[in-house]
Amino acid sequence: MNAKPIVTVLAGDRPVIGLEKLQEHAELRITDIAGLGSALNGADVLYMWDFFAEGLQDVWPNADALKWIHVPAAGVDKLLFPELVESDVVVTNARGIFDRPMAEFVLGGILHFAKGFGLAGERQRRQHWKSWPTTEVAGARVLVAGTGSIGRCTARLLRAVGMDVDGMGRTARAGDRDFGTVHASADFAKVAGGYDYVVLAAPLTTATERMVSRTVLEAMKSSAVLVNVGRGKLVDQDALVQALQARRLGGAVLDVFETEPLPQDHELWQLDNVLVTPHMSGDSQNWLDELAAQFESNFHAWRQGKPLANVVDKRLGFVPSDC
């Protein structure tokens, strides 16, 4: 490549970080979703800094020279419309950036219920001095649905505090280096009852949508806690609300929802056995800088004709791992 490639940057509410170092190597077009159509004309690369944005499909005919789309997020489910999947455009994501923050978030959610931190906050506000029995997490059994990099980092952290962790993926296997036993997703309802905590860290695909069905929820222990840091549509949300309201489930830590932001009149806001957070499990003090550095590194590899990191299998909907 002799001429400077054109990089269209879809900006959002957050300031775009890290473009200064690319200015001498690329022609940058920074746009919002309203201007995306014209900004795509002749562009080689689309950097979707606003990774929650929708509307690329509407202007896809303008992507007449596009070769690569980078999404600075782990999940790409909002992006993979049929025309893109069938095209030669390469898609990469931010695999690896969010692993440790999300693993720590999962552990925090588990401790929230095991130690009764929600009750602590409620009694503190009432200045009510009364203790309660807590639960040890060491020895508790955890099922992590999703055996990619986020699920593996989560498994390693939970094992470090003494928890017994298994995995769930597309196929069953034994002797996995991080999970030991990996169950097949098709067996979710058969095995769910054996765990104290069920963690969802899977990508959203046609195969995983509503993987936590009413049947799975009914199979879980009445004391079990569901932790979802994947996507809201991994769960039958109506069935989950009913299970929580009826106390057929011990609790839920929910960072993602079918509709985001979670509507203000939604029942989940009011349930005392639910911890609601605003899709922030991967956020950390350094995440924006790390996302910028990752794209810069991949951009220079692309300019030099080297293989790109974190290439998404557009038909599977995620970056294939080595497992």
Each of the 323 residues of the chain gets a pLDDT tens digit; together they read: 458 999 999 998 888 988 998 999 999 999 999 999 999 999 999 999 999 899 999 999 999 999 999 999 999 998 999 999 999 999 999 999 999 999 999 999 999 999 999 999 999 999 999 999 999 999 999 999 999 999 999 999 999 999 999 999 999 999 999 998 999 999 999 999 999 999 999 999 999 999 999 999 999 999 999 999 999 999 999 999 999 999 999 999 999 999 999 999 999 999 999 999 999 999 999 999 999 999 999 999 999 999 999 999 999 999 997 43
- Confidence at residue 12, expressed as pLDDT on a 0 to 100 scale: 85
Question: 17 and 124: one domain?
Answer: no
Question: 76 and 162: one domain?
Answer: no
Q: Is 70 a catalytic residue?
A: no
Question: 70 and 201: one domain?
Answer: no
Question: 132 and 29: one domain?
Answer: no
Q: Is 279 a catalytic residue?
A: yes
Question: 118 and 245: one domain?
Answer: yes
- Could you tell me if residue 175 is inside a domain? yes
The catalytic position among 95, 152, 183, 231 is 231
pTM over 0.85? The answer is yes
Q: Which residues pair with 295 in a beta bridge?
A: none
What HEC string does the chain produce? CCCCCEEEEECCCCCCCCCHHHCCCCEEEEECHHHHHHHHCCCCEEECCCCCCCCCHHHHHHCCCCCEEECCCCCCCCCCCHHHHHCCCEEECCCCCCHHHHHHHHHHHHHHHHCCHHHHHHHHHCCCCCCCCCCCCCCCEEEEECCCHHHHHHHHHHHHCCCEEEEEECCCEEEECCCEEEEEHHHHHHHHHHCCEEEECCCCCCCCCCCECHHHHHHCCCCCEEEECCCHHHECHHHHHHHHHCCCCCEEEECCCCCCCCCCCCHHHHCCCEEECCCCCCCCCCHHHHHHHHHHHHHHHHHCCCCCCCECECCCCECCCCC
Question: 177 and 219: one domain?
Answer: yes
Question: 30 and 159: one domain?
Answer: no
The catalytic position among 83, 247, 260, 300 is 260
- Could you tell me if residue 32 is inside a domain? yes
Which domain range does residue 42 map to? 6-95+285-303
Q: Is 231 a catalytic residue?
A: yes
The catalytic position among 104, 279, 296, 303 is 279
Count how many domains the chain has: 2
- Could you tell me if residue 188 is inside a domain? yes
